[in-house]
Amino acid sequence: MIKSIFITILVLIGCSVTASAQNEINILSFNGNTGYIHDSKSDAETMVKEICARNNWKITTTSDPAFFTDSNLSKFDVIIFNNNCGTDGPIFEPDEQKCFQKYIRSGGGFVAIHCAGAVWHETGEFKELYEKLVGTKLVAHLSVQKAKLTIENRNHISTLHLPVDWEVTDEWHYFNYNPRENVNVLISLEESSYTGKEKMNGDHPATWYHEYDGGRSFFTTFGHIIETYKDENFRQLVAGGIMWAAKLDGEYDFEPIQKNLMLDLNADKDVVIEDGNKVSKWTNQVASSPANYFVKRDSGRTVSGSGRPGLKINSPDIRGHNTIVFNRQELVNHQEDLFDHLLTGAGYTWFAVLAPYTQLIGLEDVNSFFGNLRYCQKFMKKRDKGMKKLMWINLLIKVFVK
């Protein structure tokens, strides 16, 4: 039998904490077309409705561009262009274009899915604004096929859940220019993994986000086939994009702390094993720390070498990362004190650092690590502006009971 003990200690020094629980989003899902209509269009709409239902968000759906008035758009936190194409003519009249432009310039959020990158025939200055809002323009695509994806940023609210190795079957876009200089790329295509002439010289962004003209924009090229909209990885990607566009990313601590760390042990890096999978040495990733590494030690143990935990490679439970597995007798020995050895790095008290994200329902907050000791200033960022000092300790221990 395996028991998992999850211990969370939050020590706050000299501060008061007020966390906002307000996370409602009002969404407009727009699917007006003037061109190719995907077989997956209804599935795209179903996906967004189900995402909203899961998160208790409000949603309004329309295909009528006349809905784009100042009074209507002002009610929404995010407008989604939900796999709608503008390949055969303009979608919007000039007055509707101006209302959408005003919405973006007033700080509105925008999420564009798949063919929303192919709105080609708008008029006036809106044509250029829309292309820059998306980040580039779709000009061609590959045949539907499987491709390997590189997750370039795993710390964004939309990509936290994605596996280390991700292969997806879909229709992949080719763009008139690479958007990388102007956007923050989250996911890119590995061009060696697919066949076809539509290449971008080895740098092929597929999902990104950026701020433009006062608003926030999130785009993903995924979404041609029905199966994509049923894929939970894709659904969470879109849900995270919506949250970022709605400025809800400030409610959560998705960006790992990088400064003032005492200890950062990563089971994917610098782990030395012996006798199969037994860990003999584990290097602290914080170069300035006095605890440079943890090594095996037999002092205080009855059986030599019995305190070594095991290294588990490519654990599916944490999406392909490595992890360290402890038996009960491997946690501490009779001569050790927990906090002494957190500081000195001696003996069999083994720790690894969790990226300290707030746990969300349906998402694991255990990444490739077992526990953390991290100290920082203003750790909670926007939602707890009064916080000055915080020490956060998370420890996940798997205890094997025979």
Domains of the chain: which residue ranges?
A: 2-18+256-400, 26-245
Answer whether residue 162 shows pLDDT above 60: yes
Averaged confidence pLDDT in the chain: 74
d(CA 222, CA 244): 18
Token pair for residue 87? 């390949």
Considering the segment(s) 26-245 as one domain, its CATH architecture is 3-Layer(aba) Sandwich (3.40)
Mean pLDDT of 186-191: 94
- Please state the separation of Cα 351 from the chain's center in Å: 24
Residue 315's DSSP bridge partners are: 321
Mean pLDDT calculated for residue range 371-378:
31
- Cα 253 to its chain centre, rounded Å, is 11
DSSP 233-295: HHHHHHHHHHHHHTTGGGGS--SPP-SSBS----TTSSEEEETTTEEEEEE-S-TTSS--EEE
164-175 pLDDT per residue, tens: 889 999 988 889
Give the separation between CA 290 and CA 303, rounded to whole angstroms.
29
| Among 29, 32, 117, 44, residue whose Cα is nearest residue 77 | 29
Q: Which two tokens stand for residue 77?
A: 């936190």
Residue 326 pLDDT > 90: no
Pairing of strands 371-376, 310-315: unpaired
Of residues 298 and 239, more confidently modeled? 239
> Considering the entire predicted model, what is its pTM?
0.64
d(CA 266, CA 283): 8
